[in-house]
Structure 1
Amino acid sequence: IPAVAAPAPASTKPADDVILDLRDVSKTYTMRAGGWRKPVSVSACQHVDLHLPRGKTLAIVGESGSGKTTCARIAMGAERPDAGGEVLFRPDPAAAPLAVHDLSPTERTAFQRQAQMVFQDPHSSLSPRMRVQQALTEPMEVHNIGTARDRREKAAEMLRWVGLNPDMLGRFPHAFSGGQRQRLSIARALTLDPKLLICDEPTSALDVSVQEQILTLLEDIRDRANLSYLFISHDLAVVARIADEVAVMRAGVIVEQAPPDTLFYNPQHPYTRALIAAQPEPDISRPIDLDLVAKGAGSPTLWPEQFRFEGHHAPALRELEPGHKVRCHA
């Protein structure tokens, strides 16, 4: 079982101070089959309800293809949800929520400044033709922020924030290690002083020791700048370390949601149990329970009757105890 950090101190923020709100979000893609065959509809996510409190970290965890990144793209406004779903963003506690997919051009520009993304692959997110200074000042140029001197000073400050030396501004990305490049990607996202960071597998391309450094960095920055994180990952150990709330996703459906100390020590859904059982441990006396993994990762029609469903007719997400929701039959 992943190690769970000590509970964070109780927040003084109001319980309804939600910075990002996904309501009944579904996304269906139509795939062209070619020839005489009919187009095929593929459901990437179904009826997703997620609420991210300000200053907290909400993690979505699941296997590849479970719909995690689709949810992140919809949250950023890069994809439009199916009819009936909406994404609301509240930049300040006293501000009215903004419907992300119905923004005017001016509102969209403001939203893009306040919500930034950190991608999985730092090699692809940084142009190899841009020096670090140009990569970090480009977002500020796009949003017409400050003078050239102001932008350079901001870029140098962000490098210090992520533990790099401002003398590195003249280098190209290829001169850095993988962990340093991910620090550069985080610094680039921070240059606009965002309020929300969407982190899509930000540590999966790094080795374990560097993952620890990046997670510590993200935690420090979150607390220092009062940022809110929507954190996408398949790694339970990473999620247990950084998240305040965890939503487990399987085939486009959230099957269980709870704080880490509840989810990892009292999992209820067979898929959640399978994910935890599949997590390797450096202990020869505790081998992976392959039967438990196979049962949870198998077809939903073979799950225990309480959780079983066919096709897209999944049971509702029910609250079994305060803060612990499981998709099951009543």
Structure 2
Amino acid sequence: MMGPELGAQSYLQLQGSIPLLNEDIVTGQGCKDGIEYSLKIGFDRFFRWNLNDVESGVRAFLKMMGVENVDEWLAFEFFFLKLEHLLAHGYLTGQCAEDPPFLKVSGENIDTLVEPASPTVVQKSYLVENIGKGKLPWSVQYSDDAAISVSPSNGELAENESAYVVVEVDTGQLQKGVYRNKLLFENGFRKAEGLRFGSLGSTFREVEIKVVQQPDVAPTITGFEDRGDGFGLIEWNFDASSLDVEMRGYEIYLQVDGDPVWTIKRTVYGIDTVSTIMSGLPKGKNACFRMQAYGEYSTRTPNSAEHCVQLSGGELT
């Protein structure tokens, strides 16, 4: 609850989720006023819901709020129940506090592809900042193995202070496949206070490194037939066993009359040896083709050798 402007609607939401008050720290300007106002609205509405037996209503309300010694709070008659006493009851309303330290983390997930047994060390820097109030103890939790290191993995930041965290993964320690880890940048203030609601900046980053052999065998274009009936037929061959990953398909690139730009003319999916009809080719031009095969994780073969032909005068559609 943040201030009296939340009104009765906030109380109605609050009534269904009392642990928010029991187990979290309420912060921000107007904290105490917000608690008082919501409780006043709540008592008023709760008593009206129980007009036939007001004392039972008050007892039910206090029990719902977590009060154990209800009789002591009732003080013989519910009319003497004082709101100040409720506010002083720590586990009933939480506590008003200064704005807490808040952890800001800058830096994206780690997602890359490397060769098996490569000497590559994947490195990523993250900036951690305290953009809240007071001292911020922080730490980075992760699955500690032979490949990953985090430095530093913990520390303390004063208000407006920042520090860099360097994450390294020695890919020479990884087997073929996909390596995954997760970095939890944790606000230690949140953990020390036992807060379950509101992260105060605690956040995750994913680590995913794909270890696959990049192919070194290219497709071979075996020919192009100008069929004279409005179509051209390009043919090629490729040994898919040269891919260390699942075969996905091919991309055919076109260059016309020495233009330095190669454009993707056609994408063909998931066939080892294939021929395909090309359409929309320019008439009377010199056309050159080349190809790549591709597989999982954005793996790509080298380009095929260029295959150039003089197109016929007729329009190839």
- In proportion to residue count, which structure has more strand? 2
TM range (shorter): under 0.3
Structure ranking higher on relative contact order (CA contacts 8 Å, 6+ apart): 1
The structure with the greater share of residues assigned to helix is: 1
TM-score by length of 2: 0.25
